A = this chain, B = another copy of it.
Amino acid sequence: MIIIMKPGASKDSVQYIASYIQEKGLQAHVSTGSEVTIIGVVGDKTRIQGDNLEIFEGVERVVAVTESYKLSNRKFHPEPSTIRVGSYEIGPRTLTIMAGPCAIESRDQLMQTARGVRAAGAALVRGGAYKPRTSPYSFQGLEEEGLQYMKEAREETGCAVICEVTSARAIENAVKYVDMLQIGARNMQNFELLKEAGRAGLPVLLKRGLSATIDEWLNAAEYIMAEGNENVVLCERGIRTFETATRNTLDLSAVPVLKEKTHLPVIVDPSHATGVRAYVAPLAKAAVAAGADGLMIEVHPNPEKALSDGPQSLTIPQFQTLCQELKPYALLAGRQF
């Protein structure tokens, strides 16, 4: 931690802070410049966690030096993690494709999609049983009935299955039916839900919040991991910016940034990020080229009739074509799928 003093800060202020820090059992290194004085704080920061040094007399600002996330931090875990989901692995040697409809609408719709995406090479079938929708008057999901169809889809196709959860009750139900839990963008800082997901025992896919910084995202992962569950996968799905040509702005720079900061795998969802079917394929390829460990793609047997997010869903044949096109990109990245 570094404390930067105001230009006119008195010697007394500097001395007071230095003594304060030393009394707490830390060291204070004072550097006095012609314009400003800086105090470097060395030692166990938890001893001064509740002290608001920013508002001590003469202080201009305080700069943190170490990240607040630890378990997800690559500094303390230099090797990239591989997360096992059902019989599949998400990590540096695979390209894991998760595909399926935004919302589960019927057994037929889900089974038809599951068979189609399985044939094309998807490892996981995705499908929403609990749908967080902007308006309370939109379709909210089939709930437990949808989860039962997911289980059937797994049994028939051999794919692992993943479902978004939006409450403690949804987690309780979901663990009986699926292989992986998804925390959606709107709930990325629903810390109670993160803790529940951490305790549920299943691997968790954590989507980035619409306006979450990468640091906040890794701190959210830390909430899950601090409950003893290290099987967390991150999913970039677009951030909110001023641009309206796409629904959100897919932040592919986040992929190399995350590869540097964390050992957790990173998945990219170009369907939600863009909201436009025609942009999914080019950005899926770009994500693989940028180093992503997998993709999440919306697929629907009949997008014109989808109850949620139809405009961005691929048809089953479109998805199969995309998977063919992705194969050489996966090879270039040293990945299999």
List residues 157-184 of chain A with CB under 8 A from any CB of chain B: 166-170
Nearest chain B CB to A299 CB, angstrom units: 14
Contact status B222-A136, CB under 8 Å: yes
Contact status A282-B255, CB under 8 Å: yes
A119 at the interface (CB under 8 A from B): no
Residues in B with CB closer than 8 Å to A190 are: 166, 186-187, 190, 193
Number of interface residues of A (CB under 8 A): 102
- A15 and B51 alpha carbons, distance in the complex (Å): 33
Interface string of A1-42 (1 = CB under 8 A from B): 010100100000000000000000001010111111010101
Residues in B with CB closer than 8 Å to A223 are: 136
Residues in B with CB closer than 8 Å to A80 are: none
Contact status A166-B192, CB under 8 Å: yes
Residues in B with CB closer than 8 Å to A211 are: 210-211, 240, 242
Number of copies: 4
Known contacts A55-B310, A329-B332, A332-B329; A260/B278 CB under 8 A = yes
- A306 and B50 alpha carbons, distance in the complex (Å): 6
Residues in B with CB closer than 8 Å to A42 are: 31-34
Contact status B213-A242, CB under 8 Å: yes
Interface string of A41-69 (1 = CB under 8 A from B): 01110100111101110000001011011
Q: Which residue of B lies closest to A131 (CB)?
A: B191
Contact status A68-B286, CB under 8 Å: no
The 9 nearest A-B residue pairs measured at CB: A52-B310, A211-B211, A31-B40, A29-B31, A33-B42, A186-B189, A286-B290, A285-B289, A286-B286
Centre residue among A31, A166, A210 by max chain B CB count within 10 A = A31
- A215 and B135 alpha carbons, distance in the complex (Å): 10
Known contacts A166-B191, A287-B286, A304-B51; A222/B310 CB under 8 A = no
Residues in B with CB closer than 8 Å to A332 are: 328-329, 332
Chosen A-B contacts, 11 in total, with CB atoms closer than 8 Å, are: A2-B4, A2-B63, A29-B40, A52-B306, A137-B222, A168-B168, A190-B193, A241-B242, A249-B251, A252-B286, A286-B289
Residues in B with CB closer than 8 Å to A54 are: 310-311
Residues in B with CB closer than 8 Å to A132 are: 189, 191
Nearest chain B CB to A228 CB, angstrom units: 12
A246 at the interface (CB under 8 A from B): yes
- A7 and B274 alpha carbons, distance in the complex (Å): 23
